[in-house]
Structure formats: C-alpha cells, structure tokens
Structure 1
Amino acid sequence: MKSLQDALYNWLTIKVVAEARPDDTAAIDTMELFEDILINEFKVRDITITKDEVMYLITYSIEGEEKSAKFPVELIDIMHNQIQKNPERYKNYPE
C-alpha cells in the first residue's frame, strides 16, 4: 500500500465492520491484514481511536513521534451502514 492515509482509512472502515460482526471471519481477516500493513510497512504503534458525532480521530506513533488522522464518520461507517440496510447482500461466513 502506497499511502499511510489509505491504510488507516481501510483499516478503520473494516475495523468498524469487524467489531459489529465479531463472527465474520472475512472482516476480521481483512482487518488483520490492514493492521499488519500499518505495523510492518508503516511502523505504526500505539493506535487509539476516538469518535464524536462528526469525525473519527486516530492517534498513533511512528518511531516515537505522535501523529493523528481524522476521517468523517459518514465516510468510515458507510460499509457497516450498507451491511445493516441490506444484510442479505452481505452473507457472513464464519469458520
């Protein structure tokens, strides 16, 4: 993945889904893939997430330097919202 911003966005989007569907192994596996990219490719550590009505705030560190990224709630929650609206389109395939 070329961009840390893209990796954070993808990770957070699927993390929201995985937390809402803890038995969805595909979501969990995908979340773990992006976590691996964040940790091993971008050297991200100490990730915390806060959410208010408008934004998700991710704080993290890289080589001891604290950094942050913000994403609109509506952008991050879109996949989860689609699954809730149309659950028949998003089958859950637990192991």
Structure 2
Amino acid sequence: MRSLQDTLYNWLTIKVVAEARPDDKSAQDTMKLFESILIDDHHLKEISVTKEDPMYYVSYKKDGETHKNRFPIELIDVMLEQIKNEPEKYHNYE
C-alpha cells in the first residue's frame, strides 16, 4: 500500500489536471482511482482542497479526527503546466 502522503500527492496532482481538462477521460479515471485508494485503503472522509498561495491544503477526517496536509503549488501544478506547455504530447484519447 502506498503511504497516505504519496497517495494524497498523486491524487491532488491529477485532480488539478482533471479539473482543468474535464473531457480528459484518462485524467478523470486516474483521479477516481486515487480517490478510491484514499477512501477504501486509507479510510479518509470529507476530503477537501483549498489553495492559498504558496500552498494547496488538503483537509480530511480519519478515525474521527480532522487532519490537514499541505503541498507547494508549484510542485502540484507541474504536470498541468507541462501539459499546457506541450499540448501535442498530451492528446485526449477517448
């Protein structure tokens, strides 16, 4: 099983891409995969994201307790920026 921190990082990174590219089925499916890992394997509830420069904050409940993790915006947005800078490499296959 992946660590919670790694799963949150991967989920947030692809969530940013999926929200920017709602027609990208691969991004949507990958986001759902990581979300299911967070819920089913790590038992998280009430997952939410806020963005306050220079960080993204992910809040969630686990075992009845509220937790908050933070990730630098530039680290999370790197995949989306790469897609924007080189769109020819990231086709949307349906």
TM over 0.5: yes
Tell me how many residue pairs correspond in the alignment.
Answer: 94
Q: CA RMSD in A?
A: 0.7
Matching residue of 1:55: 55
How far is 1:2 from its partner?
Answer: 2.5
What's the CA shift string for 1:1-28, capped at 9, x where partnerless? 3200000000000000000000100000
TM-score, normalised on structure 2? Answer: 0.97
Identity of paired residues, percent?
57
**Cα distance per residue 1:22-70 (max 9 Å; x no partner):** 0100000000000000000000000111101200001100021101100
Match of 1:44 in 2: 44
> Which residue does the alignment assign to 1:70?
70
CA–CA distance in 2 between the matches of 1:5 and 1:70?
10
Q: What amino acid is aligned across from residue 82 of structure 1 in structure 2?
A: Q
Q: Distance in 1 between matches of 2:17 and 2:93?
A: 14
